[in-house]
Amino acid sequence: MKPKYQLRLIQKEDNPQMATVIRKVMEEFGAIGEGYSVNDPEVDEMFEAYDQVNARYYVICEGERILGGGGIAALEGETNKVCELKKMYFYPELRGLGWGKKMLLQCLEDGRELGYEQCYLETVARMEGANILYQKLGFKKLDHAMGNTGHSSCESWYVMDLN
Protein backbone atom coordinates (compact mmCIF):
# COMPACT_ATOMS: atom_id res chain seq x y z
CA MET A 1 0.00 0.00 0.00
CA LYS A 2 1.31 3.44 -0.95
CA PRO A 3 1.87 5.80 2.01
CA LYS A 4 -0.59 8.67 2.39
CA TYR A 5 2.10 11.35 2.15
CA GLN A 6 5.26 11.45 0.08
CA LEU A 7 8.41 13.59 0.42
CA ARG A 8 10.01 14.25 -2.96
CA LEU A 9 12.04 16.85 -4.84
CA ILE A 10 10.03 19.74 -6.23
CA GLN A 11 8.97 19.64 -9.88
CA LYS A 12 8.20 22.59 -12.14
CA GLU A 13 4.47 21.83 -12.11
CA ASP A 14 4.49 22.15 -8.27
CA ASN A 15 5.25 25.89 -8.44
CA PRO A 16 1.67 27.24 -8.23
CA GLN A 17 0.65 24.95 -5.36
CA MET A 18 3.84 25.61 -3.39
CA ALA A 19 3.43 29.37 -3.82
CA THR A 20 -0.09 29.03 -2.41
CA VAL A 21 1.19 27.03 0.59
CA ILE A 22 3.80 29.70 1.34
CA ARG A 23 1.34 32.58 1.06
CA LYS A 24 -1.40 30.91 3.12
CA VAL A 25 0.94 29.84 5.93
CA MET A 26 2.63 33.24 6.08
CA GLU A 27 -0.79 34.89 6.26
CA GLU A 28 -1.87 32.46 8.99
CA PHE A 29 1.08 33.60 11.12
CA GLY A 30 0.73 37.28 10.29
CA ALA A 31 4.02 37.28 8.39
CA ILE A 32 2.81 39.45 5.54
CA GLY A 33 4.37 42.74 4.53
CA GLU A 34 7.83 44.15 4.24
CA GLY A 35 10.73 42.10 5.57
CA TYR A 36 9.15 38.65 5.18
CA SER A 37 10.08 35.86 2.78
CA VAL A 38 6.60 35.81 1.28
CA ASN A 39 7.79 38.77 -0.82
CA ASP A 40 10.81 36.97 -2.27
CA PRO A 41 10.71 36.69 -6.09
CA GLU A 42 11.40 32.94 -5.84
CA VAL A 43 8.01 32.21 -4.24
CA ASP A 44 6.35 31.81 -7.64
CA GLU A 45 9.28 29.88 -9.15
CA MET A 46 10.52 27.55 -6.44
CA PHE A 47 11.58 24.83 -8.88
CA GLU A 48 13.74 27.21 -10.89
CA ALA A 49 15.20 28.86 -7.77
CA TYR A 50 16.39 25.51 -6.37
CA ASP A 51 17.30 23.77 -9.62
CA GLN A 52 21.03 24.32 -9.07
CA VAL A 53 23.96 22.21 -7.86
CA ASN A 54 24.19 23.80 -4.39
CA ALA A 55 20.47 23.75 -3.52
CA ARG A 56 17.59 21.34 -2.98
CA TYR A 57 13.89 21.86 -2.38
CA TYR A 58 11.37 19.23 -1.34
CA VAL A 59 7.62 19.04 -1.22
CA ILE A 60 5.33 16.82 0.77
CA CYS A 61 2.33 15.71 -1.21
CA GLU A 62 -0.78 13.62 -0.91
CA GLY A 63 -1.29 12.38 -4.44
CA GLU A 64 -1.13 15.49 -6.62
CA ARG A 65 -1.86 17.89 -3.74
CA ILE A 66 1.12 19.76 -2.22
CA LEU A 67 0.82 20.19 1.56
CA GLY A 68 4.21 21.65 2.40
CA GLY A 69 7.79 22.16 1.41
CA GLY A 70 11.26 23.14 2.49
CA GLY A 71 14.79 23.30 1.20
CA ILE A 72 18.33 24.57 1.43
CA ALA A 73 20.48 26.88 -0.61
CA ALA A 74 23.61 28.95 -0.08
CA LEU A 75 23.08 31.73 2.45
CA GLU A 76 23.20 35.03 0.58
CA GLY A 77 25.99 37.26 1.84
CA GLU A 78 27.99 34.51 3.59
CA THR A 79 30.81 32.20 2.61
CA ASN A 80 29.92 29.24 0.41
CA LYS A 81 30.22 27.03 3.50
CA VAL A 82 26.91 28.21 5.03
CA CYS A 83 23.54 27.07 3.74
CA GLU A 84 20.15 28.38 4.76
CA LEU A 85 17.06 26.34 5.53
CA LYS A 86 14.52 28.12 3.36
CA LYS A 87 10.80 28.32 2.85
CA MET A 88 9.83 25.42 5.13
CA TYR A 89 6.06 25.77 5.47
CA PHE A 90 3.29 23.22 6.02
CA TYR A 91 -0.48 23.38 5.98
CA PRO A 92 -1.97 22.79 9.47
CA GLU A 93 -3.15 19.26 8.58
CA LEU A 94 0.48 18.17 8.09
CA ARG A 95 1.84 19.67 11.32
CA GLY A 96 2.47 17.45 14.33
CA LEU A 97 2.83 14.28 12.23
CA GLY A 98 6.65 14.23 12.14
CA TRP A 99 7.02 15.62 8.62
CA GLY A 100 8.82 18.75 9.79
CA LYS A 101 11.48 16.60 11.40
CA LYS A 102 11.76 14.35 8.32
CA MET A 103 12.05 17.35 6.02
CA LEU A 104 14.61 19.07 8.22
CA LEU A 105 16.76 15.94 8.60
CA GLN A 106 16.71 15.44 4.81
CA CYS A 107 17.80 19.05 4.26
CA LEU A 108 20.61 18.76 6.83
CA GLU A 109 21.82 15.53 5.19
CA ASP A 110 21.78 17.26 1.81
CA GLY A 111 23.68 20.21 3.28
CA ARG A 112 26.45 17.88 4.43
CA GLU A 113 26.53 16.12 1.04
CA LEU A 114 26.80 19.48 -0.72
CA GLY A 115 29.80 20.47 1.42
CA TYR A 116 28.20 23.03 3.68
CA GLU A 117 29.67 23.35 7.19
CA GLN A 118 26.79 25.23 8.82
CA CYS A 119 23.05 25.57 8.35
CA TYR A 120 21.37 28.87 9.23
CA LEU A 121 17.68 29.65 9.48
CA GLU A 122 15.48 32.52 10.48
CA THR A 123 11.87 32.53 11.53
CA VAL A 124 9.38 34.34 13.72
CA ALA A 125 8.83 33.53 17.38
CA ARG A 126 5.09 33.00 16.87
CA MET A 127 5.84 29.89 14.80
CA GLU A 128 6.28 28.13 18.14
CA GLY A 129 6.21 24.54 16.88
CA ALA A 130 8.95 25.25 14.37
CA ASN A 131 11.14 26.97 16.97
CA ILE A 132 10.77 23.99 19.31
CA LEU A 133 11.69 21.57 16.50
CA TYR A 134 14.81 23.53 15.54
CA GLN A 135 16.06 23.55 19.13
CA LYS A 136 15.27 19.85 19.66
CA LEU A 137 17.32 18.94 16.60
CA GLY A 138 20.34 20.90 17.80
CA PHE A 139 20.06 24.37 16.28
CA LYS A 140 21.57 27.05 18.53
CA LYS A 141 19.73 30.35 18.94
CA LEU A 142 21.60 33.45 17.78
CA ASP A 143 21.14 37.04 18.95
CA HIS A 144 21.55 38.45 15.43
CA ALA A 145 20.89 37.61 11.79
CA MET A 146 23.51 36.15 9.47
CA GLY A 147 23.91 36.81 5.77
CA ASN A 148 21.81 39.13 3.68
CA THR A 149 18.37 37.56 3.29
CA GLY A 150 16.39 40.80 3.33
CA HIS A 151 14.02 39.32 5.92
CA SER A 152 14.26 42.16 8.41
CA SER A 153 10.98 41.25 10.11
CA CYS A 154 12.25 37.89 11.37
CA GLU A 155 13.38 37.98 14.99
CA SER A 156 14.49 34.40 15.64
CA TRP A 157 17.77 33.18 14.16
CA TYR A 158 19.46 29.78 14.50
CA VAL A 159 22.59 28.02 13.31
CA MET A 160 23.81 24.43 13.39
CA ASP A 161 27.25 23.02 12.67
CA LEU A 162 26.96 20.24 10.12
CA ASN A 163 30.31 18.56 10.83
Among 108, 88, 103, 81, residue whose Cα is nearest residue 46: 88
Q: What's the average model confidence in pLDDT over 49-54?
A: 96
DSSP 115-141: T-SEEEEEE-TT-HHHHHHHHHTTPEE
CB 158 within 8 A of CB 134: yes
pLDDT of residue 34: 83
Cα–Cα distances (Å) from 104 to 21, 32, 71, 134, 152, in that order, read 17, 24, 8, 9, 23
| Beta-sheet pairing, 140-142 with 65-74 | unpaired
How many CB atoms sit inside 10 A of residue 137's CB? 14
Per-residue pLDDT tens over the stretch 61-94: 999 999 999 999 999 988 789 999 999 999 999 9
Position 133 pLDDT exceeds 70: yes
155 pLDDT tier (thresholds 50, 70, 90): very high
Query: Domains of the chain by range and CATH?
Result: 6-161 (3.40.630.30)
> pTM for the full model?
0.93
